[in-house]
A and B are shown apart, each in its own frame.
Chain A
Amino acid sequence: MSRALIFGLLLALAAALALRCPQLDIRPMHNDEAVNAIKLRTLWEQGSYKYDPQEYHGPTLIYLTFAWMKLIGPVQFAHFDEIQLRLITVIFGVGLILFLPLISDALGRGAIVCAAILIAVSPAMVFYSRYFIHEMLLVAFTFLTIAAGWRYTRNRKPGWAVLAGVSIGLMQATKETFVLSIAAAVAAIFLNKLCNRDPNETANVFSLNRQHLIAAIAAWFITVIVLFTSFFTNARGPLDAVLTYFPWLHRVEGASPHLHPWDYYLSRLIYFHSGRGPVWSEALVLILAIVGIIAAFNPKSRLEGNRKFIRFIALYTIILTAIYSAISYKTPWCLLSFWQGMILLAGVGAMALINLGSQFIWKIPVSCVLLALTVQLAYQAWQVSVPYASNIHNPYIYAQTSDDILNLVERLDKLAPTDAQKNSFVIKVMAPDSEYWPLPWYLRQFKQVGFWPRVPADPYSDAMIVSTAFQANLDQKKTHIMAGLFELRPQTFFELYVETNAWTTYVNGAQRSQ
Chain B
Amino acid sequence: MNLLADDSNELVPLKPKLPAAAFVGTPKDIPPGSIIEPSVDKSKPPLRIPKDAVNIAPSAQITTSDANAKPDALRKITDGIKEADDANLVLLRKGVQYIQFDFGSPQQIFALVIWHAYDTPKVYHGVVVQLADDAGFTKNVRTIFNNDAANADGRGAGTDHEYFESFEGKTINAKGENARYVRLYTKGSTDGSFNEYTEVEIYGRPMK
Instruction: Contact check, A493 vs B24: say whether CB atoms are below 8 A apart.
Output: no
For the complex, is B11 an interface residue (Cβ under 8 Å from A)?
A: no
Cβ B27 vs Cβ A485 within 8 A: no
A139 proximal to B (CB < 8 A) = no
Query: Is B191 a contact partner of A487 (Cβ separation < 8 A)?
Result: yes
What residues of B have a CB within 8 angstroms of the CB of A448 in the complex?
A: 15, 18
Known A258-B26, A277-B32, A493-B121; further 13 A-B contacts with Cβ < 8 A: A35-B23, A38-B23, A257-B28, A276-B86, A404-B189, A437-B21, A451-B20, A468-B39, A483-B149, A484-B149, A491-B30, A493-B123, A514-B151
Give the distance to chain A from B42, nearest Cβ to Cβ, in Å: 12
Complex: A449 Cα to B17 Cα, angstroms: 9
C-alpha spacing A481/B146, complex, angstroms: 14
Does A55 contact B27, Cβ atoms closer than 8 Å? no
The reply to whether the CB of A151 lies closer than 8 angstroms to some CB of chain B is no
What interface size band does chain B fall in?
35 or more
Complex CA distance for A291 and B30, rounded to whole angstroms: 36
A485 touches which of B15, B18, B35, B162 (Cβ 8 Å) = B162
Within 8 A of B (CB), among A478-514: 481-487, 489-493, 503, 506-507, 510-511, 514
Determine, out of B44-52, B153-161, B166-174, B178-186, the stretch whose residues face the partner at the interface.
B153-161
For the complex, is A471 an interface residue (Cβ under 8 Å from B)?
A: yes
Total chain A interface residues with beta-carbon distance under 8 A: 61
What are the residues of chain A within 8 A of B151 when measuring CB–CB?
507, 510-511, 514
Of all chain B residues, the one with the shortest Cβ separation from A468 is: B38
State whether the Cβ of A274 lies closer than 8 Å to any Cβ in chain B: yes
On whether the beta carbons of A482 and B161 are closer than 8 Å, the reply is yes
B119 to chain A: closest residue by CB: A275
Q: Is A25 an interface residue (CB 8 A)?
A: no
Contact A399 B150 (CB under 8 A): no
Q: Is the pair A486, B190 in contact by a Cβ cutoff of 8 Å?
A: yes
Sample 8 A-B pairs with CB under 8 A, ordered by A number.
A35-B24, A399-B27, A402-B191, A437-B27, A483-B150, A484-B150, A487-B190, A507-B151
Cβ–Cβ < 8 Å partners of A81 in chain B: none
Residue of A at shortest CB range from B34? A491
Query: How many inter-chain residue pairs (CB < 8 Å) link A and B?
Result: 133
B157 proximity list for chain A (CB < 8 A): 507, 511
Known: A257-B28, A275-B33, A485-B162. A440 touches B149 (CB 8 A): no
The answer on a CB contact under 8 Å between A399 and B28 is yes
How many Å lie between the Cα of A426 and that of B30 in the bound state?
Answer: 32
Chain A residues with CB under 8 Å of B86's CB are 275-276
Bound-state CA distance A503–B18 (Å) is 22
Whole-angstrom distance from the CB of B83 to the nearest CB of chain A?
15
Q: Does A105 contact B (CB under 8 A)?
A: no
Contacts of A411 in B (CB 8 A): 150
- In the assembled complex, the Cα of A440 lies from the Cα of B15 at a distance in Å of 20
| A511 and chain B: residue at smallest CB distance | B151
Contact A393 B190 (CB under 8 A): no
Contact A399 B20 (CB under 8 A): no
